Amino acid sequence: MTVTNKEEQNVLKGYMMMLYFSGTMIMFDPSQECIYDFWTKGILKALPVKSDNPEFIRAASLLRESSCNTLNKHSLMQEDYRRLFSNAGKELAPPYESWYRKIKDKEGRKKLADELNSVYDAHKWVSNFRGRVPEDHLGVELLFLTHVTEKYIESEGSPKRTIGSGLIGFIDSHLLSWLPAWKEDVDRNSITIGYKGIASLLTASAEDIKSMIVSNLSKEA
């Protein structure tokens, strides 16, 4: 993806909007207002960016399709959220990095939490959910990704390269290392097209942000 600096900023801001929306739908029980705003108003019919990533194209198609069928959408999305993400240890697609990296013991989970907190602290970012939501929850990792992406957009020169390299490392180590498997679980177990689309959108967005930054850093080398 070849873009000017201004275009890059606008595209990345579009991805940040989508990540924030998607992360909210993973972290919180979908509210009636959220369903109304994003589905009933048809906001999801036109995503803020375009991409030739097949996963992104799939996500856009699923989300457009989901916005065409609003019958009982709120209750179905709530049921899907519970089944997939918050079913008291019986989740069908647990939104945790530790689960997909098969870290089951308490010591291993603490080590991962310490590793993530070290990354968060290095960027002077503290989750509003620290102490209440595990550090490896997908919603928390996505909030951090949007935070660092915003810092990348606002930076120039050497700091921008440093932040960009850190973003690539975080996406590789803590998102793309498990998101594809999580997306497959959502796709296999979801009863709503909406959550299938959200899972594909998250995976594609992480891939696209990484691809953009890799491309732009290589041009500046």
| pLDDT under 50: residue ranges of the chain | 1-2
- pTM score: 0.92
pLDDT tens figures, 193-214: 999 999 999 999 999 999 999 9
Per DSSP, what are the bridge partners of residue 96?
137
Q: Look at residue 42 in the predicted model and tell me its pLDDT.
A: 65
User: What contacts 30, CB < 8 A, 6 or more positions away?
Assistant: 74, 77, 78, 81
**Distance (Å, whole) CA 81 – CA 76:** 9
154-182: buried (b, 16+ CB within 10 Å) or exposed (e) per residue? Answer: eeeeeebbebbebbbebbeebbeebbeeb
Residue 217: half-sphere exposure toward Cβ, Cα within 13 Å: 19
Q: Look at residue 71 in the predicted model and tell me its pLDDT.
A: 56
Dump the DSSP string for 194-220. HHHHHHHHHHHHHHHHHHHHHHHHHHH
Q: Look at residue 221 in the predicted model and tell me its pLDDT.
A: 60
Q: Look at residue 2 in the predicted model and tell me its pLDDT.
A: 43
pLDDT tens figures, 152-178: 999 888 899 999 999 999 999 999 999
